[in-house]
């Protein structure tokens, strides 16, 4: 289970910026020459912003901070998270118990026994909201709600594509940049596993995590949080609907095959009212259970075992 991107409101107003670790810039309006006195710095992907009001915001990927490069495609367990939080406190002076969460991503990377794109290309909706492919040419899909976003994507394909870009650009960089890029390249090659699917909940509002007892960054690493977070991820994954490509149409009756053509079409679901969607969701589930290998359940079992491990 992975905690990735976080946005933090740092509550200790006596916090001193780690100027020994990174430079802090003050933005200047090119036209007027005026500044907003907002100080911004970045340390291994973690951005620190200090406003004139003394409000301090920190945001970035804890997973990438732990890897010390722009990569989050490997496993990142509670032990790794605890280690990362210790380093954040030691190196940046940020105490987890003062890091009040404003946004957080909770997810899990799993390895499937087949190409994850067979799931992604057949996604329909999550709960009642369709999936959108918001990044052109990628293997990333999301279903956006008011308080959270469900994200599901192919981590292996994402970083294989990145490796190709690195190969094209590495010789065009200066020496220090080349070292950084080569470190990223070697990290990806060493740690990336085949057929890695990531399922993730990005919380835009903290109502659900707060109800679980997650208010500060220090709460995430509490042992008692593992079970409720696992249950949350599995519950939300069960609300993901997709056409199961193992469905054996040769065993179906002609009316069922005709109806399945509708069910495979994302646009069909968009036009249904709430009552009809409930009815057809149940019918679609029964058809899938009867004629397929039930990949949703198999993926949920892999997910559950991965979180527990």
- Residue 213's nearest CA partner among 235, 228, 203 is 228
The predicted pLDDT at position 21 comes to 92
Q: Domain extents for the chain? A: 2-246+293-308
| Average pLDDT in the chain | 93
Cβ atoms 62, 2 nearer than 8 A = no
pTM for the structure as a whole? 0.91
Given the structure tokens 């001193």, which residue do they identify?
Answer: 16
* Residues 308, 108: Cα–Cα separation, whole Å: 11
What is the structure's pLDDT at 31?
Answer: 66
Question: CA 223, CA 288: separation in Å to the nearest integer?
Answer: 37
Strand partners, 28: 35
CB 236 within 8 A of CB 137: no
pLDDT digits (tens, 9 = 90+) for 88-142: 999 999 999 999 999 999 999 999 999 999 999 999 999 989 999 877 667 899 9
Contact 34, 125 (CB under 8 A): no
CA distances from 71 to 164, 175, 237 (A): 15, 21, 24
Which sign does the torsion angle of CA 174, 175, 178, 180 carry?
Answer: negative
pLDDT tens profile 245-304: 999 999 999 999 999 999 999 999 998 999 999 999 999 999 999 999 999 999 999 999
- Among 283, 237, 277, smallest CA distance to 260 is for 283
Q: What is the pLDDT of residue 36?
A: 78
Per residue in 212-258, pLDDT (tens digit) is 999 999 999 999 999 999 999 999 999 999 999 999 999 999 999 99
Give the strand pairing for 148-154 and 56-61. unpaired
Give residue for tokens 């020496």.
175
Give the residues across from 245 on adjacent strands: none
Alpha helices (H) in the chain, listed in sequence order: 62-67, 78-92, 117-120, 155-169, 175-191, 207-212, 217-220, 226-237, 254-263, 266-270, 274-291, 295-308
Residue 233 corresponds to which tokens in the numbers above?
A: 């991820």
């Amino acid at each position: 289970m992975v905690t990735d991107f976080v946005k933090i409101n740092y509550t200790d107003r006596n916090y001193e910026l780690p100027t020994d670790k990174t430079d802090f810039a003050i933005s200047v309006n090119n036209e007027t020459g005026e500044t907003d006195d907002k100080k911004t710095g970045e340390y291994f992907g973690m951005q620190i912003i200090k406003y004139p009001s003394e409000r301090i915001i920190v945001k970035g990927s804890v997973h990438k901070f732990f890897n010390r490069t722009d990569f989050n495609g490997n496993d990142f367990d509670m032990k790794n998270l605890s280690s990362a939080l210790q380093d954040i406190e030691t190196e940046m002076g940020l105490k987890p118990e003062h890091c009040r969460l404003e946004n957080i991503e909770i997810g899990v990377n799993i390895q499937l026994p087949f190409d994850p794109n067979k799931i992604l290309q057949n996604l329909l909706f999550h709960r009642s909201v369709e999936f959108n492919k918001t990044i052109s040419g990628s293997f990333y899909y999301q279903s956006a709600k008011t308080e959270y976003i469900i994200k599901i994507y192919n981590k292996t394909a994402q970083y294989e594509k990145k490796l190709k870009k690195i190969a094209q650009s590495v010789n065009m960089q200066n020496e220090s940049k080349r070292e950084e890029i080569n470190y990223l390249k070697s990290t990806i090659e060493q740690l990336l596993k085949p057929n890695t699917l990531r399922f993730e909940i990005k919380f835009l509002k903290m109502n659900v995590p707060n109800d679980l007892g997650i208010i500060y960054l220090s709460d995430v690493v509490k042992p008692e949080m593992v079970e409720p977070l696992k249950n949350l991820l599995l519950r939300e994954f069960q609300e993901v609907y997709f056409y199961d490509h193992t469905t054996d149409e040769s065993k179906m009756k002609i009316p069922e095959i005709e109806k399945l053509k509708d069910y495979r079409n994302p646009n069909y679901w968009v036009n249904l009212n709430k009552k009809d969607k409930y009815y057809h969701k149940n019918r679609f589930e029964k058809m899938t259970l009867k004629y397929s290998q039930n990949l949703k359940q198999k993926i949920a079992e892999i997910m559950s075992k991965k979180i527990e491990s």
